[in-house]
Chains A and B, each alone.
Chain A
Amino acid sequence: MRRYNLFYFIGEALKSLKRNGVMTFASIAVLLSCLLVISGFSLLVLNIDVNLEKLGTLNEIVVFCQPDATEEEIDAVEAAIHKLDNVDTVTHSTKAEQLKQLKEEDPDLYGDITAEENPLSDSFAIKYKDNDKVSTLDYELKQIEGVRKVRNSLDLSNKIEGIKQSIMIVFFWFLAILFVVSIFIIINTIKIAVLNRKKEISIMRYIGATAWFIILPFIFEGIIMGTVAGLASFFIVKFGYSAIVNGAGEDLAMLSFVGFSDISTYVLLGVLAIGILTGVIGSSISLSKYLKD
């Protein structure tokens, strides 16, 4: 493409976008909504993933003995735990220690409980070596005589994984619908632009303009709309995400959030790519008949 043509195409595209201001605004607004949903869902899924990983890295299983277990029985449980393959470290916590900790945390509620009344159980916090074999370990621990309960984070992790899958499905359909709507509205915007320039296009054809020369300004219109929507969504996501993370950071201190600066390049490239691609697809569809002849 010659340089003077590139300026001409961009100039024509800008003129046309200005001329059809309302449709241009509508197209950019719909595309912007689409991109905001895409980035919003992507960031949500990314953060769920990070927190799921965090859950995974806890790699701790807690085994509780019977409340009335004797010291021998407790030692037997500990010995049985040590024999298992996937066990890395075992930390014993006696029921007396646990009660003491509870009393320190809330003297009003637990202050009156005596050592004889202590309803808690001795427990073993087990760090395991292999994440993939945790279900087997869980099963083996439950088989040990004298074990009352085995607590692990598998259920929570599975639940969150399930929520993530549901979000992905909703995300996918929502995205598909918004994408189709965006393309549709861009097709209409470009069609109106073509209609406005019908006379000009017919003259261009008589003069000997190639199909590409005629349609490129319209493709540039799509590219410009996509770029504007992409940039706008990037800045909205940037400030919106920071505000949410800062706000939620205090209430949800146990969750970790991905820092925006770590992903800003990907977000920018992503929204620009999707925005421009949508613009180009939309304008190409409405101009397909001009490409044929």
Chain B
Amino acid sequence: MIEFRNVKKSYPNGTVALKGVNLHIDDGEFVFIVGHSGAGKSTLMKLLLCEEKATSGNIIVGQYNLTTTPNRRIPHYRRQLGVVFQDFRLLPNMTVYENVAFAMRVVGTPSKMIKRRVPAILNTVNLSDKHSAFPHELSGGEQQRVALARALANNPSVIIADEPTGNIDPQMSLEIMNLLVKINKLGKTVIVVTHEQSLVDYYKQRVIRIQDGLVIDDYVGGMFNETV
């Protein structure tokens, strides 16, 4: 469960990014977060990833209240999230296998477990045959699938995808979205921040629209431009 209760965020330069956001996402939901540039989507993501602290209000994710979680607990909180970025953020000097294994090693997973689990995850994202390739040898869509595999590596309960299809062609975008839907069906909460109207329209999932630092639209099965 993810809950924002009257969350406000202003930056030291005076910019007020969020002006009192309230939202509730249940476990196992698939949610699109949409909005124009500067609407507050990125700030919302940063708060969710604990890159920034809210100025006021409460953010609850599972057992964590992010406004009161001490810094030393943040790494443990982040382990229940799997994050996918627009620019993939893969380590260029590591192979596909190593990139996924790295995520597991970071949280102290034993080598035996890593050896068993990585091939299974690569199979989930249809990359078994590319396990020894380096990121630069892969297409954009394939790189994003590696990022997705890495996000899944530690079996997180929530997957956050920030513009996951922003850097890949439309056909690959569909493939990535299908994978996210598949992952959601495995019981994981999936939050996709996107600009892409066609995808939002096609998948007909819950849409939360943010504008000027406020949630102005929250509609299940909604279309990108639909307003309440």
Contacts and interface: CB of A to CB of B under 8 A. Distances in A.
Interface string A170-209: 0000000000000000000000000000011011111111
Given A199-B91, A293-B74, A209 B106 contact: yes
A288 to B, nearest CB: 14
B5 interface: no
A205 B108 contact: no
Contact of B83 (A4, A206, A293): A206
A2 B78 contact: no
B89 A208 contact: no
Contacts of A202: 89
A207 B103 contact: yes
What is the predominant secondary structure among interface residues of chain B facing chain A?
helix
A153 interface: no
Interface string A206-232: 111111010000000000000000000
A239 interface: no
Contact of B78 (A4, A200, A207, A211): A207
B79 A199 contact: no
Contacts of B107: 207-209
A6 to B, nearest CB: 12
B168 interface: no
Interface string B90-106: 01000000000011011
B75 interface: yes
A208 B71 contact: no
Chain A interface size band reads: 10 to 19
B106 A204 contact: yes
A190 B154 CA distance: 30
B49 interface: yes
Interface of A: 2, 4-5, 8, 199-200, 202-211, 213, 292-293
Interface of B: 49, 71-72, 74-79, 81, 83, 89, 91, 102-103, 105-108, 110-111, 150, 154
Given A200-B91, A208-B76, 15 more contacts: A2-B110, A4-B105, A4-B110, A4-B111, A5-B105, A199-B89, A202-B89, A204-B106, A206-B83, A207-B107, A208-B154, A210-B75, A210-B76, A213-B106, A293-B71
26 contacts: A2-B108, A2-B110, A4-B110, A4-B111, A5-B105, A199-B91, A200-B91, A202-B89, A203-B91, A205-B75, A205-B78, A206-B89, A207-B79, A207-B150, A207-B154, A208-B75, A208-B77, A208-B78, A208-B81, A208-B106, A209-B75, A209-B107, A210-B76, A211-B72, A213-B106, A213-B108
